[in-house]
């Protein structure tokens, strides 16, 4: 599919000086100036968010608090890197607010997009990667707040709260099923269909509907879509142009709105459900 080196594929990520601030769970006084956005009662708000995280379902308030206090809070602007492929994997993350993407690149400069991560999802979490290295790079798409646990805290947590381990097992299982279904898709469907599916998944997961259609709530470039579907931005551009001319969609710079999902669905047609 993507064959050889194309300069377009080398995406220059802006490596803003990592304005990572570690914040002891319940020590708001440690906040640094750039954290002005954060009100002092952040604790309670984060805790409420935390309660919605699937990974922590089944924990009662006290346990949640304990989990929270073992965490480190990091705040990022848009387009910052949370961790980079190949780095030592010390932290496991949960996204509280914002949006980020997890991408993997091959040594020859090609890139694929593993997934977009939304609020309350865990990421970078394949606990103790055997290699002890992150297999992918996580980059924020919008300003984000993440909680992180280091190896020790994580193991502690898993030991104290077996329920969390079970949740993790379930979530990893889902993830695995999704990746497998994506693999099947990549191996058997043609590009247009893959793009349609990807778009549908994005709108379903994070679409903002208004009178004239559903728009993806965060910026997605053609290249992103290409990396997501295993093709090139050129092909994606052509396809979207076609759809736009048909009036199926509306799109601009890193912006896509689907007018009529049912049309896309018929392009993606198949009995097979879209996983996730």
Give the interface with DNA as residue ranges (CB under 7 A): 1-6, 11-12, 190-192, 221-223, 230-235, 237-238, 240-241, 244, 251-255
Among candidate residues 129, 103, 126, the one with its CA nearest the CA of residue 114? 103
CB of 130: closest distance to its own copies in angstroms? 6
Instruction: List CB contacts of 266: < 8 A, sequence separation 6 or more.
Output: none
Q: Binding string, 91-120, against its own copies, x = CB under 8 A?
A: -------------x-xxx-x-x-x------
Using rule CB under 8 A, residue 86 touches its own copies: no
CB of 27: closest distance to its own copies in angstroms? 30
Alpha helices in 13-161 (DSSP H): 42-52, 61-69, 151-160
Residue 271 binds: one of DNA, its own copies, none (C-beta under 5 to 8 A by kind): its own copies
Buried b (16+ CB within 10 A) or exposed e, 211-243: eebbbbebebebbbbbbbbbbbbebbeebbeeb
Using rule CB under 8 A, residue 271 touches its own copies: yes
Of the candidate residues 132, 159, 241, 266, the single one contacting its own copies (CB under 8 A): 159
CB of 7: closest distance to DNA in angstroms? 8
Instruction: List CB contacts of 38: < 8 A, sequence separation 6 or more.
Output: 28, 31, 75
Q: Binding string, 193-232, against its own copies, x = CB under 8 A?
A: -------------------------------------x--
Residue 143 binds: one of its own copies, DNA, none (C-beta under 5 to 8 A by kind): none
CA distance 63 to 54: 14
Whether 128 and 109 have beta carbons less than 8 Å apart is answered as no
């Amino acid at each position: 599919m993507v064959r050889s080196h194309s300069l377009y594929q080398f995406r220059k990520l802006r490596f803003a000086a990592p304005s990572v601030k570690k914040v002891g769970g319940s020590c708001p006084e440690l906040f640094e100036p750039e954290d002005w956005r954060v009100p002092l009662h952040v604790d309670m708000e984060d805790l409420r968010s935390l309660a919605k995280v699937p990974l922590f379902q089944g924990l009662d308030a006290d346990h949640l608090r304990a989990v929270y206090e073992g965490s480190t809070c990091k705040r990022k602007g848009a387009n910052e890197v949370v961790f980079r492929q190949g780095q030592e994997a010390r932290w496991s993350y949960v996204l509280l607010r914002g949006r980020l993407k997890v991408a993997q690149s091959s040594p020859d400069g090609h890139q694929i997009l593993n997934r977009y991560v939304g609020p309350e999802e865990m990421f970078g979490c394949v606990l103790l990667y055997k290699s002890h290295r992150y297999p992918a790079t996580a980059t924020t798409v919008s300003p984000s707040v993440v909680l992180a646990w280091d190896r020790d805290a994580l193991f502690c947590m898993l030991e104290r709260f077996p329920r969390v381990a079970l949740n993790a097992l379930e979530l990893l299982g889902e993830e695995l099923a999704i990746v497998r279904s994506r693999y099947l898709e990549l191996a058997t469907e043609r590009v247009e269909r893959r793009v349609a599916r990807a778009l549908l998944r994005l709108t379903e997961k994070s679409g903002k509907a208004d009178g004239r259609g559903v728009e993806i709530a965060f910026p997605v470039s053609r290249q992103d879509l290409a990396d997501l579907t295993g093709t090139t931005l050129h092909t994606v551009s052509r396809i979207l142009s076609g759809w736009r001319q048909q009036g199926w969609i509306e799109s601009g710079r890193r912006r896509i709105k689907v007018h009529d999902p049912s049309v896309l669905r018929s392009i993606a047609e198949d009995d097979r459900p879209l996983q996730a």
